[in-house]
């Protein structure tokens, strides 16, 4: 039925099955939109947020998804920027389209959820108009907006490559010329996303009255600025690779060469190891140098559901362990270990975003303050799930109708 | 596709989206449903607060003279010196309360049915009330009764005047801590006054359960005293004796935890050591106290004196320790300290301002202070002086003369109380259980006994037997809801009223509370309703109440002060506590009109404290052996004349009811006639209320033994009733004792006030004091279990 | 520019609260609510969603009965004087909350606030409340709203302003009277209300003011001094256990 839209030489599942899948996704999205609309109309009292937990599920999900979406800019940076100097990075071209799609959906999805998060969405644009140059959030607002535009620009040529669309000559020309300049956008995007990823880290790190989150740093940026960038680039490509693997399983096809996974594994292994070294140093400095100055010890930050297990999980099981696996060429050969490490890696980064958002404010600062526990309401869960469904939807559509994987035809011959 | 792209691009180039974005933001800043308060000239109007008995000066801020926006303290007033309490600060929430009664109402359906109230005119309301009163008067005026507020104002005297002229003895006041003080003063000094405490000038304060900072009868004055005690140099040592680690206990320098209700035993123990150690004011006692030594009555019969009683083995430190739960050494240490401190004052209370105390215990504390010499002229305890207001005297006709043969209903049942006082409990009890004569009409003024009278079911039972119940409440409270007629009074800030003295204050005090704003609703001053009804009834009733307006009535009362040329108006801030008994206070007003003008402008009148006089007693001395108790006494035991520890046993057996329930008051919860305001609801801690669930405080030890964890749903059962609640485990509670806050659990009002927790009054047991016949409340036997 | 990184005037409005005198009666908080048109809801028992500019914390000495003692700590906005920025003004993306360097008051512009709540996250004192609902009043009670303080809309953050509308009035009055507006004094509603006069307010930089003297009292301390937030609200207490609760300590 939709054969005419499907790229040449690839096989796709039957339209009814695809429709069913899309319907499921649309159902989740509809649920999320309904919940989001309710929040916009009836205000934020529907959420589990309160005066203690100013930030909650929306922000955590946004931070995590933006970190994981970083695969887009970082793969782009490696492919468009560095492959001239390191030819082996050319391999990434085989997955770069997917990386762009993942980045695109993650960012646009995050922006939509961000709209719900603020109490006065109609005035959201005051961030541009009355910008406070000192605020990390201002940095975030500007960078995310710019980068989302860049991602749209990066995504457009992919759309234009659709068989039907490229039949139109001007579109084909546009697509071609856009591809030529893509390197420039990729590099602009890289800068912007490095910067805003860092700013997101800064959001937590500059809260100098929140000992859990506060970090000293370099010039105006706290260490979290740099750690967030590093953690994003050491997990984003892994996320792209995992999605690719998931697609391979679902479609029962090979979409990229295994060498691509191993290359990503190698890159991530290196980055993650570097990140973990810095993270451990940062944690040690925070726990044993900064906190005592504030009269706090490490155990003061952990209580009840927000126990020390979070630190062990984030830094140990989902940090050092995948780093060790990924830097070992032998371990990378095992699919179980390779993808297992990818999974741990992204879980670790998600925990990091959770901890820097929720735990940072759950931990009481005043000695007579009490721990509180945050439980998100369905009005927070639904839009977040809808955002994930939206990601899946765009990826599914993109895969079905666009030539995402240059090697797909060959690999499945 | 191209079209769509073009359209998007094109639209973005027009000003439209930007204009829309801007407009929507502007709209979000000016939502029509966000109220925008009307602007205008802001003025200040001074007045005096009558929400409680504390007598604070206030000033209201008005916009355009017709909209009150804030109640502040009046810095010119010596009691509160510019401060306000949480209740006064939120007073406007009573004025603008949605649950106010907007006009006279008549119940047309069953009592308590909100939908049955029919609006009637004042004309009709007053006519129907007058008619009923007229009818009843013909059959016997004594069958009309009234319950009024315990606050001291000229309204009391107007009610008394009306009842005297009309011919009914059945006028009752809501119970108050002052009732017991009045009994004790009557018995020991022969004066019908209350004891007054020079808190501000004390050098050492030993408080036997006085809830000075936990919502006492005169909170502002207590706060002012605390400020003076906590001065930087030589702060005053405060010792708090009670069972709960209350706010007062925490602010005190020493907290002495004792079993609930055993304060008087400790006081006896201290007296024992003072007497045995000859460490008391022997000169004062010898010359001014009767009954310290063994004494002989008019019949020549010899009786035991206080000295021999207190020094007996019943009150040794060991014995007292056993009763109170303190260490004997602590008792000795405390006695030594109290005896040796030069300006030591013992104050006392039941921990609640709204109920009377055990008279014998009241006498014990008087005795302890007497031993300390505090009752001598210039001492720390005096008698509350009275403002010389014009006296009222009712003219009587044949009907009122005849009915004066009828006994007051609480006395008719013959409780054999030797020193009967305002016996509201006796009255309610009598009405509900076959009285000597029926009550045909019951009026309730500025009181809400259906909710805030301990053992409030007594009121409900009595009300059932009364065919006509009339409420004068400004608010749709629990009592008003049960009434047949509501003749709404103005809210306190809309009417003339006055404050006659401050409970427990040694100086004379009188203030007029002038309205700050014109009445907002179709309400009428209850005083003026009485005047109108009196004039309709005509005859001596009308001539006894000749005034046309309540303001005229107050003017008349103030004339008395002017005639006596007593006291002075305070027109500049003064340290009122520096005036000693007998100090001259020169009057600074020219005549009654001038005085009233000044009082109306929010200034208060004051006079020097008065020393305790003993000339009215039989012996001409302070009577520690209260001879008048013996009048109706059935027992011939000498101890009945003397101050002693005489706890009233709560009903129920200890084995069945292993715990004690004690109620406490919080300054953040209004527990009298006035319900809490929404502002005050914000102050209620989440350890007291969660949603509509009230917390009951219990000690961790008690909780452990009952298997109860923090926040558990529990069921409390007392000998009086049961209720569901939540458990709050706190070391503020004494092991084995449960604590419940008062003032919660309203059923009437609106969604902001009603249905919050449990009403403590429905769980507490009232016991009648054998001397005064008044209800006392201290502890109730209880069970608690997790559900 | 001073060494603190911002232009400093010689006015720094601040407050001293004597915790030994505070009885936790709530008068300050109620007066604050009335003065500042603070909205309320039928159920205010969830303190995490209850708007309160002057919240009264209950402290306890963690001991068992009968050594158990409580104290109250009223907490207005601390109007932090940290170098460069207060924790909250530093992070506001839209300049809705800023510190007025003329007097040190941390202000909040409701119509500009976008409700991102970053300032609440940054504030360790929980001094800020969010309007989770559309504020509504029972109809007759709209009559008691003060025209001097604008009611807030839903979705914005609000907090104690040291009653700066009163300050503006005091300055305007001084100007009209021909006296120096910079010497104008006033009291916020809470300080006026306090029955034990535990709250003292004034210019911390005016050596002669009561508040300046008390802030240098040996009993004076601030909450969380170790974080360098430099609050302009000081507390007084003689009791060690209360003072020890002011800041975290490793012992």
Burial state string for C211-245 with b = 16 or more CB within 10 A and e = fewer than 16: bbebbeeebbbbbbebbebbbbbbbbbebeebbeb
Q: How many residues does chain B have?
A: 787
**B333 and B439 within one domain:** no
In this structure, what CATH number is given to the domain that contains residue C62?
3.30.70.20
In this structure, what CATH number is given to the domain that contains residue B717?
2.40.40.20
Residue A2 placed within a domain: no
Q: Please, what is the angle between helix A57-68 and helix A378-401, to 10°?
A: 20
Closest partner residue to B92 (CB to CB) among C50, C135, C144 is C144
CB within 8 Å: A125 and B24: no
Task: Give the per-residue pLDDT at B631.
Answer: 66
**B543 and B465 within one domain:** yes
In this structure, what CATH number is given to the domain that contains residue B349?
3.40.228.10
Where among B334, B360, B379 does a domain terminate? B379
Q: Among all residues of chain B, which has the CA nearest to that of A165?
A: B1
Average pLDDT of the residues in B607-629: 87
Q: Is the pLDDT of residue B171 over 50?
A: yes
Q: Of residues B367 and A199, which shows the higher confidence score? A: B367
Choose the weakest-confidence range: B425-439, C71-85, C191-205: B425-439
Q: Take residue B633 and report the two structure tokens written for it.
A: 């006494």
Q: pLDDT band at residue C2, thresholds of 50, 70 and 90?
A: very low
Q: Answer whether B350's CB lies under 8 Å from B470's CB.
A: no
**B65 and B15 within one domain:** no
In this structure, what CATH number is given to the domain that contains residue B156?
3.40.50.740
Which residue segment(s) compose the domain that C151 sits in?
A: 13-244
Where among B348, B379, B410 does a domain terminate? B379
CA distance C160 to C94: 19
Residue A6 placed within a domain: no
CB within 8 Å: B69 and C145: yes
Q: Of residues A140 and B318, which shows the higher confidence score? A: B318
Backbone angles phi, psi at A84, to 5 degrees: -60, -35
Task: Give the per-residue pLDDT at B147.
Answer: 96
Q: Answer whether C96's CB lies under 8 Å from C113's CB.
A: yes
**B530 and B443 within one domain:** yes
Task: Give the per-residue pLDDT at C101.
Answer: 92
Q: Model ipTM?
A: 0.95
Q: pLDDT band at residue C98, thresholds of 50, 70 and 90?
A: very high
**B462 and B359 within one domain:** no
Q: Is the pLDDT of residue A131 over 90?
A: no
Q: What is the mean pLDDT of chain A?
A: 88
Residue A75 placed within a domain: yes
Residue B14 placed within a domain: yes
Q: What is the pLDDT of residues B530-578, one digit of tens each?
A: 999 999 999 999 999 999 999 999 999 999 999 999 999 998 888 888 8
Choose the weakest-confidence range: A2-6, B744-748, C104-108, C165-169: A2-6
Q: What is the pLDDT of residues C127-159, one digit of tens each?
A: 999 999 999 999 999 999 999 999 999 999 999
105-144 in A: which are within 8 Å (CB) of B?
A: 120, 122-123, 125-126
Q: What is the pLDDT of residues B60-111, one digit of tens each?
A: 999 999 999 999 999 999 999 999 999 999 999 999 999 999 999 999 999 9
Average pLDDT of the residues in B230-259: 93
- Cα dihedral B66→B71→B76→B80 (10° resolution): 160
Residue A183 placed within a domain: yes
**B563 and B590 within one domain:** yes
Q: Among all residues of chain B, which has the CA nearest to that of C55?
A: B683
Q: Is the pLDDT of residue B294 over 50?
A: yes
CA distance B253 to chain A (A): 22
Q: pLDDT band at residue A125, thresholds of 50, 70 and 90?
A: confident
In this structure, what CATH number is given to the domain that contains residue A313?
1.20.1630.10
* Residue closest to A280 by CA, chosen among A238, A320, A247: A320
Choose the weakest-confidence range: B29-38, B281-290, B629-638, C37-46: B629-638
73-102 in B: which are within 8 Å (CB) of C?
A: 73, 80-90, 92-93, 95-98, 100
Task: Give the per-residue pLDDT at C251.
Answer: 66
Q: What is the pLDDT of residues B467-515, one digit of tens each?
A: 999 999 999 999 999 999 999 999 999 999 999 999 889 999 999 999 9
The set of residues, in sequence order, having a beta carbon less than 8 Å from that of B296 and lying 6+ positions away, is B302, B303
Bridge partner residues of C106 (DSSP): C99
Which residue segment(s) compose the domain that B744 sits in?
A: 659-786
CA distance B325 to B257: 8
Q: Is the pLDDT of residue B457 over 90?
A: yes
Choose the weakest-confidence range: A279-283, B56-60, B192-196, B482-486: B192-196
CB within 8 Å: C130 and A44: yes
Q: Take residue B144 and report the two structure tokens written for it.
A: 């009309």
Closest partner residue to A132 (CB to CB) among C50, C92, C157 is C92
Q: Among all residues of chain A, which has the CA nearest to that of C83?
A: A208
Residue B238 placed within a domain: yes
Residue A121 placed within a domain: yes
Q: Answer whether B292's CB lies under 8 Å from B310's CB.
A: no
Task: Give the per-residue pLDDT at B3.
Answer: 64
Q: What is the pLDDT of residues A62-76, one digit of tens each?
A: 999 988 887 777 888
Q: pLDDT band at residue B634, thresholds of 50, 70 and 90?
A: low
Place of tokens 């002075």: B568
CB within 8 Å: C25 and B98: no
CB within 8 Å: B683 and C29: yes
Q: Where are the beta strands (DSSP E) in A233-292?
A: none
Task: Give the per-residue pLDDT at C1.
Answer: 38
Residue C249 placed within a domain: no
Which residue segment(s) compose the domain that A193 sits in?
A: 17-371+378-403
CA distance B316 to A412: 103
Q: Please, what is the angle between helix B16-29 and helix B2-13, to 10°?
A: 60
Rg (CA), chain B: 28
Q: Among all residues of chain A, which has the CA nearest to that of C224?
A: A366
Domains of chain C: total: 1
The set of residues, in sequence order, having a beta carbon less than 8 Å from that of C110 and lying 6+ positions away, is C96, C150, C152, C153, C156, C158
**B491 and B374 within one domain:** no
C115 touches chain B (CB under 8 A): no
Where among B547, B577, B607 does a domain terminate? B607
Q: Take residue B155 and report the two structure tokens written for it.
A: 């309204």
CA distance A197 to A232: 7
Average pLDDT of the residues in A295-299: 92
Bridge partner residues of A350 (DSSP): none
Average pLDDT of the residues in B139-144: 92
Q: What is the mean pLDDT of chain B?
A: 92
Q: pLDDT band at residue C4, thresholds of 50, 70 and 90?
A: low
Task: Give the per-residue pLDDT at B298.
Answer: 82
Q: Please, what is the angle between helix A96-117 and helix A57-68, to 10°?
A: 160
CA distance B156 to B527: 10
Residue C58 placed within a domain: yes
Residue C192 placed within a domain: yes
Q: What is the pLDDT of residues B639-650, one digit of tens each?
A: 889 999 999 999
The set of residues, in sequence order, having a beta carbon less than 8 Å from that of B502 and lying 6+ positions away, is B53, B54, B55, B79, B218, B221, B509
Task: Give the per-residue pLDDT at A137.
Answer: 85
Average pLDDT of the residues in B247-256: 95
Burial state string for A218-231 with b = 16 or more CB within 10 A and e = fewer than 16: eeebbbbbbbbbbb
CA distance B675 to B100: 12
CB within 8 Å: A137 and C227: no
Task: Give the per-residue pLDDT at B19.
Answer: 81
Q: Of residues A135 and B476, which shows the higher confidence score? A: B476
Residue C54 placed within a domain: yes
Residue A8 placed within a domain: no
Percentage of the residues of chain C whose pLDDT score is greater than 70? 96
Domains of chain B: total: 5
Task: Give the per-residue pLDDT at B635.
Answer: 64
Q: pLDDT band at residue A349, thresholds of 50, 70 and 90?
A: very high
CA distance C25 to chain B (A): 5
**B553 and B445 within one domain:** yes
Task: Give the per-residue pLDDT at A94.
Answer: 87
Q: pLDDT band at residue C6, thresholds of 50, 70 and 90?
A: low
- List chains adjacent to chain C, taking adjacency as at least 3 C-beta pairs closer than 8 Å: A, B
Average pLDDT of the residues in A346-363: 94
CA distance C177 to chain B (A): 18
Q: Is the pLDDT of residue B414 over 60?
A: no
Q: Is the pLDDT of residue C213 over 70?
A: yes
Domains of chain A: total: 1
**B416 and B532 within one domain:** yes
Task: Give the per-residue pLDDT at B85.
Answer: 94
């Amino acid at each position: 039925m939709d054969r005419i839209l499907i790229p040449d030489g690839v096989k796709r599942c039957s339209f009814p099955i695809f429709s069913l899948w899309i319907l499921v996704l649309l159902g989740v999205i509809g649920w999320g939109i309904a919940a989001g609309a309710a929040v916009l109309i009836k205000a934020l009292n529907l959420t589990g947020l309160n005066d203690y937990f100013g930030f909650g599920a929306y922000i955590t999900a946004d931070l995590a998804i933006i970190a994981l979406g970083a695969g887009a800019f970082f793969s782009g940076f490696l492919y468009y920027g560095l492959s001239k100097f390191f030819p082996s990075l050319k391999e990434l071209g085989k997955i770069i389209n997917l990386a762009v799609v993942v980045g695109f959906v993650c960012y646009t999805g995050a922006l939509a959820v961000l709209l719900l998060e603020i109490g006065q969405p109609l005035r959201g644009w005051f961030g541009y108009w009355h910008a406070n140059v000192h605020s990390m959030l201002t940095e975030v607002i500007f960078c995310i907006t710019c980068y989302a535009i860049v991602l749209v620009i990066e995504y457009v040529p992919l759309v234009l490559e659709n068989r039907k669309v490229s039949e139109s000559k001007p579109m084909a020309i546009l697509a071609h010329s856009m591809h030529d300049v893509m390197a420039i956008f990729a590099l602009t995007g890289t800068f912007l996303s490095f910067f805003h990823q860092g700013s997101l880290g800064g959001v937590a790190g500059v809260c100098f009255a929140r000992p859990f989150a506060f970090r000293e740093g370099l010039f105006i940026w706290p260490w979290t600025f740099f750690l967030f960038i590093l953690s994003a680039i050491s997990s984003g490509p892994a996320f792209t690779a995992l999605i690719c693997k998931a697609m391979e399983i679902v479609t029962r096809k090979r979409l990229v060469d295994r060498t691509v996974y191993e290359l990503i594994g190698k890159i991530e292994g290196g980055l993650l190891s570097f990140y973990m070294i810095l993270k451990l140093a940062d944690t040690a400095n925070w726990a044993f140098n900064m906190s005592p100055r504030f009269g706090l010890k490490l155990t003061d930050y952990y209580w009840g559901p927000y126990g020390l297990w979070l630190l062990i999980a984030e830094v140990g099981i989902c940090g050092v362990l995948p780093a060790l696996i990924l830097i070992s060429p032998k371990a990378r050969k095992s699919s179980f270990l390779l993808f297992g490490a990818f999974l741990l890696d992204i879980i670790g980064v998600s925990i990091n975003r959770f901890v820097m958002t929720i735990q940072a404010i759950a931990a009481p600062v005043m000695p007579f303050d009490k721990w509180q526990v945050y439980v998100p309401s369905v009005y927070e869960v639904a839009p977040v799930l809808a955002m994930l469904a939206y990601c899946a939807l765009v990826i599914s559509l993109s895969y079905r109708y666009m030539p995402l994987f240059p090697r797909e035809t060959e690999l499945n011959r | 596709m191209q079209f769509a792209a073009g359209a998007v691009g094109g639209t973005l180039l027009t000003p439209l989206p930007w204009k829309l974005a801007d407009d929507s933001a502007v709209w979000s800043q000016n939502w029509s449903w966000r109220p925008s308060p009307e602007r205008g000239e802001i003025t200040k109007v001074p007045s005096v607060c009558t929400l409680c008995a504390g007598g604070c000066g206030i000033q209201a801020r008005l916009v355009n003279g017709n909209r009150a926006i804030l109640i502040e303290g009046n810095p010119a007033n010596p009691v509160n010196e510019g401060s306000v309490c949480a209740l006064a600060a939120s007073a406007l929430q009573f004025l603008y309360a949605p649950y106010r009664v907007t006009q006279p109402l008549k119940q047309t359906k069953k009592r308590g049915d909100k939908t049955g109230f029919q609006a009637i005119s004042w004309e009709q309301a007053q006519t129907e009330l007058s008619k009923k009163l007229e009818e009843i008067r013909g059959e016997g005026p004594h069958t009309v009764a009234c319950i009024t507020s315990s606050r001291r104002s000229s309204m009391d005297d107007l009610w008394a005047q009306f009842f005297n002229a009309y011919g009914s003895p059945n006028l009752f006041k809501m119970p108050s801590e002052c009732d017991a003080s009045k009994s004790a003063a009557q018995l020991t000094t022969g004066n019908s006054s209350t004891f007054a405490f020079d808190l501000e000038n004390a050098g050492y304060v030993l408080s036997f359960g006085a809830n000075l900072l936990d919502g006492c009868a005169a909170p502002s004055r207590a706060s002012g005293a605390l400020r003076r005690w906590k001065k930087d140099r030589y702060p005053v040592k405060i010792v708090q004796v009670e069972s709960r680690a209350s706010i007062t206990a925490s602010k005190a320098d020493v907290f002495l935890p004792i079993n609930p209700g055993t304060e008087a035993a400790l006081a006896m123990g201290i007296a024992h050591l003072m007497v045995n150690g000859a460490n008391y004011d022997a000169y004062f006692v010898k010359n001014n106290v009767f009954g310290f030594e063994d004494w002989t009555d008019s019949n020549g019969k010899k009786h035991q004196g206080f000295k021999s009683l207190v020094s007996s083995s019943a009150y040794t430190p060991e014995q007292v320790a056993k009763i109170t739960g303190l260490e004997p050494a602590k008792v000795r240490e405390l006695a030594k300290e109290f005896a040796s401190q030069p300006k030591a004052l013992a104050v006392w209370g039941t921990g609640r301002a709204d109920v009377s105390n055990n008279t014998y215990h009241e006498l014990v504390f008087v005795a302890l202070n007497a031993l300390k010499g505090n009752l001598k002229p210039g001492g720390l305890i005096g008698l509350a002086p009275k403002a010389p207001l014009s006296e009222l005297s009712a003219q009587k006709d044949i009907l009122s003369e005849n009915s004066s043969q009828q006994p007051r209903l609480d006395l008719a049942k013959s409780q054999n109380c030797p020193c009967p006082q305002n016996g509201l409990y006796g009255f309610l009890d009598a009405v509900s259980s076959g009285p000597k004569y029926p009550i045909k009409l019951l009026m309730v003024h500025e009181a809400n006994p259906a909710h805030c009278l301990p053992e409030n079911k007594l009121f409900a039972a009595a009300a059932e037997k009364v065919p006509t119940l009339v409420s004068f409440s400004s608010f749709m409270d629990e009592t008003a809801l049960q009434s047949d007629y509501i003749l709404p009074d103005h809210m306190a800030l809309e009417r003339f009223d006055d404050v006659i003295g401050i409970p427990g204050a040694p100086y004379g005090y009188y203030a007029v509370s002038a309205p700050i704003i014109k009445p907002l609703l179709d309400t009428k001053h209850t005083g003026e309703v009485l005047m109108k009804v009196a004039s309709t009834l005509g005859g001596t009733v009308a001539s006894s109440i000749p005034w046309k307006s309540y303001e005229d009535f107050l003017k008349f009362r103030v004339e008395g002060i002017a005639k006596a040329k007593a006291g002075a108006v305070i027109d500049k801030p003064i340290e009122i506590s520096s005036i000693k008994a007998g100090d001259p206070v020169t009057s600074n007003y020219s005549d009654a009109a001038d005085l009233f003008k000044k009082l109306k402008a929010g200034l208060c009148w004051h006079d020097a404290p008065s020393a305790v006089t003993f000339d009215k007693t039989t012996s001409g001395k302070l009577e520690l052996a209260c001879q008048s108790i013996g009048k109706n006494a059935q027992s011939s035991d000498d101890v009945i004349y003397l101050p002693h520890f005489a706890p009233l046993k709560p009903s129920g057996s200890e084995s069945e009811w292993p715990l004690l329930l004690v109620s406490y008051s919080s300054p953040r919860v209004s527990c009298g006639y006035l319900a809490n305001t929404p502002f005050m609801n914000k102050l209620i801690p989440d350890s007291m209320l969660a949603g509509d669930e009230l917390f009951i405080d219990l000690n961790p030890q008690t909780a452990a033994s009952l298997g109860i964890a923090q926040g558990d749903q529990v069921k409390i059962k007392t000998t009086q009733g049961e209720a569901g609640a939540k458990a709050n485990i706190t070391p503020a509670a004494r092991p084995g004792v449960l604590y419940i806050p008062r003032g919660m659990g309203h059923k009437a009002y609106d969604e902001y006030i009603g249905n919050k927790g449990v009403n403590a009054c429905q769980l507490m047991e009232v016991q009648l004091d054998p001397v005064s016949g008044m209800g006392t409340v201290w502890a109730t036997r209880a069970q608690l279990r997790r559900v | 520019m001073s060494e603190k990184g911002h232009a400093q005037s010689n006015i720094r409005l601040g407050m001293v609260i004597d915790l030994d005198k505070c009885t936790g009666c709530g008068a300050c908080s109620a007066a604050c609510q009335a003065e500042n048109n603070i909205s309320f809801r039928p159920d205010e028992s969830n303190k995490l969603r209850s708007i309160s500019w002057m919240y009264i914390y209950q402290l306890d000495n963690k001991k068992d009965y009968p050594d158990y003692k409580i104290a109250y700590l009223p907490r207005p906005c601390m109007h932090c004087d940290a170098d460069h920025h207060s924790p909250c003004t530093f992070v506001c993306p839209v300049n809705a909350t800023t510190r007025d360097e003329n007097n040190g008051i941390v202000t909040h512009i409701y119509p500009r606030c976008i409700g991102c709540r970053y300032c609440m996250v940054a504030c360790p004192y929980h001094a800020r409340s969010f309007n989770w609902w559309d504020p509504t009043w029972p109809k007759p009670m709209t009559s008691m709203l003060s025209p001097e303080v604008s009611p807030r809309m839903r979705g914005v953050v609000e907090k104690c302003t040291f009653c700066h509308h009163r300050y503006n009035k005091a300055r305007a009055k001084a100007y009209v009277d021909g006296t120096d507006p910079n010497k104008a004094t006033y009291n916020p509603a809470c300080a006026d209300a306090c029955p034990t006069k535990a709250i003292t307010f004034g210019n911390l930089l005016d050596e002669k003011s009561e508040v300046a003297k008390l802030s240098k009292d040996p009993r004076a301390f601030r909450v969380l001094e170790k974080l360098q937030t430099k609050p302009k609200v000081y507390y007084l207490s003689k009791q060690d256990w209360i003072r020890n609760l002011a800041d975290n300590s490793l012992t």
